[in-house]
Amino acid sequence: MTHRMKENLQKKRKLQDPGKCECKMMAQTENLIVKMNRQYKDFSKGQKKLADYICKNYDKAVFLTAARLGAEVGVSESTTVRFATQLGYQGYPEFQRALEELVRNKLNSIQRMEVTYGHVAQSEILDTVFQSDINKIKMTMEDIDHEAFDLAVETLLQARTVYIVGIRSCAPLASFLGFYLNLIMEDVRLIQTNSASETFEQMLRMDERDVVIGISFPRYSMRTLKALEFANNRNAKVITLTDSIHSPINLYSSCNLIAQSDMASIVDSLVAPLSVVNALVVALSMKKQREVVDTLESLEKIWDEYQVYSSDEIDHVNGNVDLSRLGEGAK
């Protein structure tokens, strides 16, 4: 076993060894969201500000002292401490430990619904979601590592084969990226992950000349994590698109692209990650302009020859379709 593999194995064991206090802490974490929602109507104005901020920014709140958290929302340190004790914690440190566990495990779908329920009126949902998506893109734009982005582009340009791994809610992102990279690069493979064995079968010939793009957002997929571990052990270069530097898939990555995705709802917002994907596609297209133009010109000829897009049957002025011409080619 190589030194690199031993280090990754040690990290993996740390992730899998929850410690003796996990059950207690998980109970505290689950109760944190429930308690805030149950007591929300009885909170003071300042406490409601704290609850709202924590629900929307728990990944930031976890790093703040009582004084800093209070300053963020415009209340005193004593109000922040009283907020923690009112929720049933012995003090702010115990409250913060529960918050740390919340960030570590993220929220499951039921808890996300609990966070949302009672905080957003039905009539405000559309505006709230739009504003949340706008904020996610702004935060991603401000925080993303431009050097890591440039490294990702150069790494992809040098790859023999590019593998893309993203399942469940991340599958559309992986598919979108795969579609456009296939127009730009010679060998792009979107990993189909119906089973763990099938994943490894598709990655069997991977080596140090190849690049894997792993996409995963909470709740993180173990199948994606295992695929990246396999790629790392094969000395392939790993690029990750995820929500945090603490994401487990970053264990095996040399290039991390971070995009905000948290939303207090049953679903994550993937608007910001999609923007990062768009940026990757544009950057690669600019680097390989001649190849992309040649590919698109060839495709246009094929589309015209095989009438892939029946443009001659559509009146682009009024949007009407001339049905009388359909079927003429079959005569």
Q: What is the pLDDT of residues 18-38, one digit of tens each?
A: 333 333 333 444 467 777 888
The pLDDT of 212-223, averaged and rounded, is 89
Pairing relation of β-strands 162-165 and 211-215?
parallel
User: Is residue 297 domain-resident?
Assistant: no
Cβ neighbourhood burial of 222 (10 Å; 0-12, 13-18, 19+): exposed
Do residues 114 and 163 share a domain? no
> How far, in Å, CA of 103 to CA of 265, rounded?
16
Number of domains the chain contains: 2
* Residue 220 per-residue DSSP state: P
Mean pLDDT (the chain, rounded): 80
> How far, in Å, CA of 50 to CA of 19, rounded?
30
Do residues 30 and 114 share a domain? yes
* Residue 111, pLDDT score: 57
Domain membership of residue 158 as a residue range: 140-292
Do residues 282 and 151 share a domain? yes
* Residue 172, pLDDT score: 94
The pLDDT of 103-123, averaged and rounded, is 59
User: Is residue 274 domain-resident?
Assistant: yes
* Residue 266 or 76, more confident: 76
pLDDT band at 119 (very low <50, low <70, confident <90, very high): low
> How far, in Å, CA of 215 to CA of 195, rounded?
17
Instruction: Report the side by side order of strands in the sheet with 237-242.
Output: 188-190, 162-165, 211-215, 237-242, 255-258
Q: What percent of the chain has pLDDT over 90?
A: 39
The secondary structure element, H or E, covering residue 215 is: strand 211-215
Inform me whether the pLDDT recorded for 15 exceeds 50: no
Lowest model confidence (mean pLDDT) among 1-5, 225-229, 282-286: 1-5
Would you say 139 and 260 are in contact if contact means Cβ atoms under 8 Å apart? Answer: yes
The pLDDT of 42-47, averaged and rounded, is 88
The Cβ-side half-sphere exposure at 198, using a 13 Å CA radius, reads: 7
Lowest model confidence (mean pLDDT) among 4-8, 52-56, 80-84, 229-233: 4-8
The pLDDT of 37-52, averaged and rounded, is 86
Inform me whether the pLDDT recorded for 227 exceeds 50: yes
The residue written with tokens 């899998």 in the block is 16
* Residue 121, pLDDT score: 67
User: Is residue 246 domain-resident?
Assistant: yes
User: Is residue 49 domain-resident?
Assistant: yes
Q: Most confidently modeled of 94-98, 176-180, 313-317?
A: 176-180
Do residues 50 and 89 share a domain? yes
Do residues 149 and 254 share a domain? yes
* Residue 163, pLDDT score: 97
User: Is residue 124 domain-resident?
Assistant: no
> How far, in Å, CA of 330 to CA of 214, rounded?
45
Do residues 101 and 166 share a domain? no
Inform me whether the pLDDT recorded for 263 exceeds 60: no
Choosing from 86, 119, 152, the residue where a domain stops is 119
> How far, in Å, CA of 329 to CA of 175, rounded?
33
Do residues 149 and 190 share a domain? yes
Tell me the backbone φ, ψ of residue 131, rounded to 5 degrees.
-65, -40
Give me the CATH number covering residue 72.
Answer: 1.10.10.10
Choosing from 119, 148, 176, the residue where a domain stops is 119
Inform me whether the pLDDT recorded for 117 exceeds 60: no
* Residue 75 per-residue DSSP state: -
User: Is residue 201 domain-resident?
Assistant: yes
Do residues 216 and 265 share a domain? yes
With a CB cutoff of 8 Å and minimum separation 6, the contacts of 160 are 187, 209, 210
The residue written with tokens 């487990």 in the block is 248
User: Is residue 229 domain-resident?
Assistant: yes
Give me the CATH number covering residue 211.
Answer: 3.40.50.10490
Encode pLDDT of 141-198 as tens digits: 998 999 999 999 999 999 999 999 998 889 999 999 999 999 999 999 999 877 777 8
Do residues 113 and 150 share a domain? no
Do residues 114 and 145 share a domain? no
Q: What angle do CA 277, 144, 128 make, to 5 degrees?
A: 75
Pairing relation of β-strands 255-258 and 211-215?
unpaired
Do residues 87 and 185 share a domain? no
User: Is residue 211 domain-resident?
Assistant: yes
Which tokens belong to 206? 């991977």
pLDDT band at 6 (very low <50, low <70, confident <90, very high): very low
Inform me whether the pLDDT recorded for 122 exceeds 80: no
DSSP string for 232-281: HHTT-EEEEEES-TT-GGGGG-SEEEE-----SSSS---HHHHHHHHHHH
Do residues 115 and 150 share a domain? no
pTM as predicted? 0.65
